[in-house]
Amino acid sequence: MFPLTEENKHVAQLLLSTGTCPRCIFRFCGVDLHAPYKLSYEELLGELQKFLETEKDELILEVPNPPSKKIRLQELEVGIDGIDNLSQNGEGRVSVIEDGSTASKNSNLNVCNVCLGILQEFCEKEFIKKVCQKVEASGFEFTNLVFSVSFPPQLSVRESLFEVSVVFAHPETVEDCHFLRAVCPDCFKPAKNKQSVFTRMAVMKALNKIKEEDFRKQFPCPPNSPKAVCTVLEIECAHGAVFVAGRYNKYSRNLPQTPWIIDGERKLESSVGELISDHLLTEFKAESFNFSSSGREDVDVRTLGNGRPFAIELVNPHRVHFTSQEIKELQQKINNSSNKIQVRDLQLVTREAIGHMKEGEEEKTKTYSALIWTNKTIQRKDIEFLSDIKDLKIDQKTPLRVLHRRPLAVRTRIIHSMETCYVDEHHFRLYLKTQAGTYIKEFVHGDFGRTKPNIGSLMNVTADILELDVESVDVDWPPALDD
C-alpha cells in the first residue's frame, strides 16, 4: 500500500504546497518503511501527486522487507565498476566529503524548504555512484567503514523544534577513553555544567589529535566484547524556545524593569518583565523566561506614548500553537491583571526577528519629558533659549549611580532638540529628543561635573530632576497590530 493514509492527506497537501519534498513529507508523516524512500525523486513526486488527487487510498507500491541497518558500501549500488575490488587487507575509518562539484544540475528542481535538497538529489543513484567512485579513488585500504554525514546547521532551524532524546550509558566500559586524557590533556578541561570531562566533543577532539600508533598501544583493536548491554539513563522531551514580542507602557514610579536585587536581597516585589511573563509562562507552559527590551528605564521613570519594544524568550514551552485571537485574549489578560503596566502589539516572533529590536540601537532617538527644579528663581525668559539649541553634543562619563555595573568610559551623545514649559519660579518642564543611550538625569544635574554641558551649567543654576517620563522609543518594531 502507498505509505500515506487518508488521515495524512491534508498534512501532505499542505507540506507539498509550501515546498516540502516527498521524502520530508514521508518523514513528517511517520513513514518508517525503507522502500518508498528508495524510489527516485521523480517517481516519488509522481506517486504523491496521484495520491493527493485520489479520493481513496488506491495506489500500491511494492514494499519488500527492509534491508539490514548494517549495510556494506558495495551494497549501496550493485554493479559499479571496480567497487568489488576494494582491498580487504587493512582496516580503518573514512569520512567521505563531497565538494561543491556535486551542485544540482537540474535547474528546474524546486529545492525543499526543509532538507534544502539533501533528500532530493543526494539520495539519487547518481550521487551514490559519485561517493563510491570517490572512495575507490582515495586509495585507502579498509575492511569496514563509518559513513558520516555533516548537515548545515540551519537545518536545525528548519526542522521541528520538538526533540525527544534518549540518553544511554555503559558503566562497564566507562574507562575506555580515560587513556586519552594522558595523551591529550588539553582536550579534557573541566566545565561548570558538565559532570565529567569525557564529553563526546572532547573525546572526538582527542581522537583527531592522537597518532594511530599511540592509539593502538593504548587500546585493543578490535575492542573487547563487553558482558552487558547499554542502559538507558533517561528519556527526555524538550521543545526549542519560542519568542513573544510587543510594546509595554509602565505607569508606576516604583517598578523596576527586571527584578531589583542588591547584595542578594530583593528590593521590590515585582518587575515589568515578571508582570508580563508570569502570564506567558502559564499559557505556554514554559519552564522559564528571558526578558529583553530596546533600552531600559529607571525604577522611578514611567514609559508612556506607544510604549517600549520588548521580547521574551520562553524556555522549553509545552504549548506553542496559538491563534491570533488567543494572543489578543492573552494580551487583555495581562492588561487586566495590573494597573502598573499595559502591553500592546503582542505577537509571536522568530529568534532572528528580535535582532531588529537591537539593530542600530544607539542611532535611534527617544523622547522624554522631565520636571526640573532650580535653586534660583527663574522667569519664562530664563528658559526660552533652551528651545533654540539643536543637536547639542554632550560628553557623559559613566554615571556614579551605575558605575558598579558599567565600565568607566566617556560617551558622546546628542541632544537633538529641547522645548520648555514654565511652571513656577523654581520649576519648569523640559521636553527632549535625544540619541538613544543618553543619561537624562545626569544631563539635568550634571553628576558632579561628569556630564558636560548640562542644564545646570547652561542656565548657570543648580538643577535637579524631580520626575522623568519616556514619551516615545523610536524603534519601528515589532509591527503594529490592529486592536
- In the numeric block, which cell numbers belong to residue 265? 536581597
Instruction: State the CB neighbour count (10 A cutoff) for residue 227.
Output: 7
Separation CA 259–CA 267 (nearest Å): 8
Residue with cell 577532539: 205
Cis check: omega of the bond before 407, within 30 degrees of 0: no
Cα torsion angle, 140, 144, 150, 155, sign = positive
- In the numeric block, which cell numbers belong to residue 479? 509591527
- Pairing verdict, β 463-473 and 365-374: antiparallel
Separation CA 285–CA 356 (nearest Å): 27
Proportion of the chain in helix, strand, coil states, percent, rounded to 5: 30, 25, 45
- In the numeric block, which cell numbers belong to residue 296? 531600559
For the chain, report the end-to-end CA distance as a whole number of angstroms: 50
Separation CA 145–CA 441 (nearest Å): 68
Contact present, 316 and 241 (Cβ < 8 Å): yes
Q: Compute the C-alpha angle 400/405/409, nearest 5°.
A: 60
Concerning whether 278 is annotated as a catalytic residue, the answer is no
- Supply the DSSP string of 156-195, one letter for each residue: HHHS-SEEEEEEEE-GGGTTTTTHHHHH-GGG----TT-S
Question: b/e map of 58-94 (b: 16 or more CB within 10 Å)?
Answer: eeeeeeeeeeeeeeebeebeeebeebeebeeeeeeeb
Residue with cell 524546486: 110
Q: Taking the CA of residue 158 as centre, how many other CA atoms within 13 Å lie in the half-sphere pointing to its CB?
A: 16
Separation CA 341–CA 273 (nearest Å): 10
Q: What is the 3-state secondary structure (H, E, C) of 54-78?
A: CCCCCCCCCCCCCCCCCCCHHHHCC
Task: Please tell me which residue in 214, 298, 300, 464 is annotated as part of the active site.
Answer: 298
Separation CA 362–CA 473 (nearest Å): 12
Residues annotated as catalytic are: 298
